[in-house]
Amino acid sequence: MTPVRHMLGTIGRAAFLALVLGFFALPLLWLASAPFDAHPSITASVPEFTLANFRALLDNPYALGSLRNSLIQACGSAALVVTLAALAAYALSRARVPGRDALLYVLLLLSSVVTGTAAMVPLFELATRLNLIDTHLGVVLTLSGGLLPAAIFILKDFMDATPTSYEESARVFGASPGQVLRHVVIPLVRPGLATIAVWAVAGVWGSFLQPFILLRDPDKAPGAVILYTLYTEGGAPRLDVISAFSLLYSLPVVVMYVFVSRRYGFRFHGGIKR
Amino acid sequence: MIALRGLTKEFPGGVRAVDSLDLEIGDGEFFALLGPSGCGKTTLLRTIAGLETPTSGRIEIGGVDVTGTPPGRRDVAMVFQDYALFPHMDVTANIAYPLRIRKVPRAGREAKAAETASRLSLSELLDRRPGQLSGGQQQRVALARAVACHPKAFLFDEPLSNLDARLRLEARTFLKRLQRELAVTTVFVTHDQSEALALADRIAVMSAGRITQLGTPSEVFRRPATTFVASFIGSTPMNLLPGVAKDGVLRVAGAEFPLPDGAPEGEVLYGLRPEYADLTTREPGEKGAFPGKVAVVENLGTAHLVTLECTDHLLQVVVPEGAEPPPGTAAWAVPRPGRALLYRDDTLVGGA
């Protein structure tokens, strides 16, 4: 009896896992096969190999440019978020600020509102008055504003975990605050900074609504927005171009993730056991 | 020379970590700040370093008032309890860091780092990261980093507490020799009385932000000024027994001693170190011995710590190897002449 039940349990578990795995793997399988299929559909199938889809994509005047725009907006936001969040997190971690925790939680709460759909109208109004409509800067500032609170929150934890004796030691040797930050603090929290950078790039890369609303000129639109325009005049999705573009669109993020995880990873060059 | 005048450090919330403290530390002196945790010794050291701003009072280093000077311009080097070696730099870069701040060219500071490292026998480790070093090596790198910048004074915060017990003795000897060779004024903080006794030229015993006693290790050990110092100093705590002095006779726990000249009469505390008494199992003729029964015998290696149950009180005596009586035997503790101390209101009033 028991072996049978055991076997049934194993089969059940395996079947369940296969189902879950299939659920997540099939879209990826589609992403791998459809771009090379002569007649892509919305199902994953063994492709009838061709590179025609990519050729068709190159004919689209905005496709490759949009990836460059994505890159500009993502890297710009990541640079801004990492710089500002690092400075803010360091200050919040080291200085005595009354009501610091409440401030952080309120910021975190508001961040989902700032870039959220609800604030889109005032944001658009604000961008118009500041002449930021149809500029990369407008998109970068808006998206950074949304990412910053969470970034500060996460980085503050990293900063809190770094003993102050490192900084004090540098200070006693005569290092200026800027030198302390450059020589000691930033190298120590580098894994945290890398995490935030990757997270910001990935977040901006996938953003659709903000660039869609803030940018008029398709020459400045990022990949996510251009993907939305790949339809025929009749309104039917052009699966050949969409699939090829999807693959190109997702590659940079994957490459970046692999690179950063190799390069920085989550290790701390520990000194002493604490 | 380091001079502190009326130094007070009060933290927000009203805690006085350092309370109007006056202290002068001589050139080349190896000076210990000793006290239990929370007595303000680390705050005092950090105030000297400039990491804490005093609420009032002045600090002078080498005759210059540095009270308002930022830490980097005081020309002191501090070794932290956790050594604070920068984990992302190798040993060379760590030792050379103070010189990097002073804009010494790379070649010059690397040469200096190599020279300092060889002096502290670290030459083999120059390319390693702190994470790849043992505790003792890390401590030596931290010392090398302090030595490399030729400061007017060294400040050590619990320099030995992060090492294991065996290494601690070795490092202690090393530290003392290094300080002798460099002859740089050194202030160190410790909660370990044996460390302070072994290393320091002078000790300041601190309690609640004030100096309770200031003196050489032997002064502090032989004549503790208060019962607090008496119970704090010494690896086995001093016996403190209540007694009464009356009509020229001191009566303590079943023993009677003639009261020395000038000692006050009335209720006193009788202090006697366990090392300064002899134990005998034969009844002595005189009354100057504590009668009791052996309750506990603890092996200390080369000696035994015998706890004697006297009338109403416990008395501890250190007995040489092989002379320890079995538990339960009747024994008498005879204090060595001139070694006992009398305290009244927690303050030393005389010897007995």
Residues A14 and A133 in one domain: no
pLDDT of residue A12: 93
| Token pair of B75 as six digits | 């020309």
Residue of higher predicted confidence among B251 and A266: B251
Q: Compute the mean pLDDT over every residue in chain B, rounded to the nearest whole number.
A: 89
Q: Check CB contact under 8 Å for A172 and B129.
A: no
Q: What would the mean pLDDT of A77-103 be, rounded to a whole number?
A: 89
- CATH code for the domain of B159: 3.40.50.300
Q: Say if B336 is an interface residue toward chain A (CB within 8 Å).
A: no
Residues A123 and A243 in one domain: yes
% of chain A with per-residue pLDDT over 90 = 26
Residues A87 and A138 in one domain: yes
Of B223, B248, B265, the one marking the end of a domain is B223
pLDDT of residue A131: 92
Q: What would the mean pLDDT of A76-93 be, rounded to a whole number?
A: 93
Q: Shortest Cα distance from B320 to chain A (angstroms)?
A: 39
Per DSSP, the three-state class of A99 is coil
Of B170, B197, B223, the one marking the end of a domain is B223
How far is the C-alpha of A142 from the C-alpha of A211, rounded, in Å?
9
- CATH code for the domain of B306: 2.40.50.140
Question: Looking at beta carbons, which residues of chain B come within 8 Å of A264?
Answer: none
Task: List B61's β-bridge partners, or say none.
Answer: B2, B64
Residue B228: inside a domain, yes or no? Answer: no
CA distances from A15 to A12, A27, A29, A198 (A): 5, 19, 19, 35
| Token pair of B22 as six digits | 């006056």
Residue B154: inside a domain, yes or no? Answer: yes
How far is the C-alpha of B232 from the C-alpha of B192, rounded, in Å?
9
Band of residue A114 on the pLDDT scale cut at 50, 70, 90: low
Q: Say if A261 is an interface residue toward chain B (CB within 8 Å).
A: no
Q: Check CB contact under 8 Å for B162 and A272.
A: yes
| Token pair of A176 as six digits | 């200026």
Cβ pair A40, A34 in contact under 8 A: yes
Which residue's entry shows tokens 């692999």?
A: A258
Which of A256, A46, A89, A273 shows the shortest CA–CA distance to A185? A89
Which of B340, B349, B351, B334 shows the shortest CA–CA distance to B266? B349
Pairing of strands B185-190, B153-157: parallel
Band of residue A272 on the pLDDT scale cut at 50, 70, 90: very low
How far is the C-alpha of A67 from the C-alpha of B11, rounded, in Å?
56
Q: Check CB contact under 8 Å for B51 and A172.
A: yes
Residues B74 and B169 in one domain: yes
Q: Shortest Cα distance from B12 to chain A (angstroms)?
A: 11
Band of residue A269 on the pLDDT scale cut at 50, 70, 90: very low
How far is the C-alpha of B31 from the C-alpha of B25, rounded, in Å?
7
Residues A70 and A46 in one domain: no
Of B165, B190, B223, the one marking the end of a domain is B223
pLDDT of residue B32: 94
Amino acid identity of residue A274, one-letter, is R
3-state SS of B189-203 is EECCHHHHHHHCCEE
Q: Say if A272 is an interface residue toward chain B (CB within 8 Å).
A: yes
pLDDT of residue A270: 39
Task: List B187's β-bridge partners, or say none.
Answer: B31, B155
Which residue's entry shows tokens 């609640």?
A: B208
Q: Shortest Cα distance from B205 to chain A (angstroms)?
A: 25
Residue A273: inside a domain, yes or no? Answer: no
Q: Check CB contact under 8 Å for A169 and B49.
A: no
Q: Check CB contact under 8 Å for A174 and B138.
A: no
Q: Shortest Cα distance from B110 to chain A (angstroms)?
A: 17
Residue A271: inside a domain, yes or no? Answer: no
The number of C-beta contacts closer than 8 angstroms across A and B is 83
Q: Pick from A174, A176, A272: which is nearest to B138 by CB?
A: A272
Q: What would the mean pLDDT of B292-301 be, rounded to a whole number?
A: 90
Q: Pick from B77, B84, B145: which is nearest to A165 by CB?
A: B84
Count of CB atoms situated within 10 Å of the CB of B58: 14
Residues B80 and B150 in one domain: yes
Residues B216 and B178 in one domain: yes
CA distances from B132 to B86, B118, B120 (A): 12, 18, 17
**Which residues 125-164 of chain A have a CB within 8 Å of chain B?**
163
| Token pair of A146 as six digits | 């949304």
Residues B67 and B215 in one domain: yes
pLDDT of residue A204: 92
pLDDT at B236 over 90: no
Q: Say if A171 is an interface residue toward chain B (CB within 8 Å).
A: yes
Considering only the C-alpha atoms of chain A, give the largest distance between any 2 of them, rounded to a whole number of Å.
Answer: 76
Which of A109-113, A188-192, A219-223, B2-6 shows the lowest per-residue confidence on average (mean pLDDT)? A109-113
Reported for A47-52, long-range contacts at CB under 8 A and 24+ positions apart, including other chains, are A52/A240
Q: Shortest Cα distance from B100 to chain A (angstroms)?
A: 9
Residue of higher predicted confidence among A112 and A156: A156
Cβ pair B45, B212 in contact under 8 A: no
Q: Compute the mean pLDDT over every residue in chain A, rounded to the nearest whole number.
A: 85
Residue A111: inside a domain, yes or no? Answer: yes
How large is the ipTM?
0.81
State the first-to-last Cα distance of chain B, in angstroms, to the nearest integer: 38
Count structural domains, chain A.
2
Cβ pair B240, B234 in contact under 8 A: no
Q: Check CB contact under 8 Å for A173 and B49.
A: no
Q: Which of A45-49, A96-100, B63-67 has the highest mean pLDDT?
A: B63-67
Question: Looking at beta carbons, which residues of chain A come within 8 Å of B155?
Answer: 172
Q: What would the mean pLDDT of A104-122 be, rounded to a whole number?
A: 78
Q: Say if B93 is an interface residue toward chain A (CB within 8 Å).
A: no
Residues B175 and B31 in one domain: yes
pLDDT tens digits along A12-30? 999 999 999 988 888 888 8
Residues A26 and A69 in one domain: no
E strands in A119-264: none
% of chain B with per-residue pLDDT over 70 = 100
Task: List B277's β-bridge partners, or say none.
Answer: B335
Residue A270: inside a domain, yes or no? Answer: no
List, as one string, the DSSP characters of B321-336.
TT-PPPTT-EEEEEEP
pLDDT tens digits along B136-186? 899 989 999 998 888 999 999 988 888 888 888 888 998 999 999 889 999
Cβ pair B160, B171 in contact under 8 A: yes
For residue B186, the 8-state DSSP code is E
- CATH code for the domain of A215: 1.10.3720.10
Q: Check CB contact under 8 Å for B87 and A270.
A: yes
Residues 6+ apart with CB under 8 A from A209: A117, A120
CA distances from A154 to A1, A111, A145 (A): 52, 14, 15
Residues A43 and A81 in one domain: no
Q: Shortest Cα distance from B329 to chain A (angstroms)?
A: 48
CA dihedral angle for residue A157, residue A158, residue A164, residue A167, rounded to 10 degrees: -140
Residues A242 and A118 in one domain: yes
Residues A82 and A42 in one domain: no
Question: Looking at beta carbons, which residues of chain B come within 8 Å of A268?
Answer: 87
How far is the C-alpha of A52 from the C-alpha of B5, rounded, in Å?
86
Count structural domains, chain B.
2
Task: List B293's β-bridge partners, or say none.
Answer: B309, B330
> A20 lies in which domain range?
2-50
Residues 6+ apart with CB under 8 A from B203: B31, B32, B34, B196, B197, B213, B214, B215, B216, B217, B220
Q: Say if A183 is an interface residue toward chain B (CB within 8 Å).
A: yes
Closest residue, chain A, to B72 (C-alpha):
A174
pLDDT tens digits along B195-232? 999 999 999 999 988 999 999 999 999 999 999 999 89
Residues 6+ apart with CB under 8 A from B148: B95, B96, B98, B99, B112, B113, B116
Q: What would the mean pLDDT of A186-213 be, rounded to a whole number?
A: 89
Residues B80 and B148 in one domain: yes
Exposed / middle / buried, residue B318 (Cβ in 10 Å: 0-12, 13-18, 19+): buried
How far is the C-alpha of B206 from the C-alpha of B16, rounded, in Å?
13
| Token pair of B291 as six digits | 């009668």
Band of residue B14 on the pLDDT scale cut at 50, 70, 90: confident
Residue A269: inside a domain, yes or no? Answer: no
Residues A198 and A82 in one domain: yes
Q: Check CB contact under 8 Å for A272 and B102.
A: no
Considering only the C-alpha atoms of chain B, give the largest distance between any 2 of them, rounded to a whole number of Å.
Answer: 79
Cβ pair A44, A34 in contact under 8 A: yes
Q: Check CB contact under 8 Å for B72 and A165.
A: no
Q: Say if A173 is an interface residue toward chain B (CB within 8 Å).
A: yes
Band of residue A219 on the pLDDT scale cut at 50, 70, 90: confident
Count of CB atoms situated within 10 Å of the CB of A235: 6
> B322 lies in which domain range?
239-351
Interface test with A, best of B52, B101, B156, B189 (most A CBs within 10 A): B101
Q: Which of A57-66, B24-33, B166-175, B319-328 has the highest mean pLDDT?
A: B24-33
Residue A129: inside a domain, yes or no? Answer: yes
Q: Check CB contact under 8 Å for B131 and A271.
A: yes
**Which residues 143-172 of chain B have a CB within 8 Å of chain A?**
145, 149, 155, 162
Band of residue A1 on the pLDDT scale cut at 50, 70, 90: low
Residue B234: inside a domain, yes or no? Answer: no
Q: Check CB contact under 8 Å for B101 and A173.
A: yes
How far is the C-alpha of A232 from the C-alpha of A247, rounded, in Å?
20
pLDDT at A188 over 80: yes
Interface test with A, best of B51, B53, B66, B139 (most A CBs within 10 A): B51
Residues A22 and A66 in one domain: no
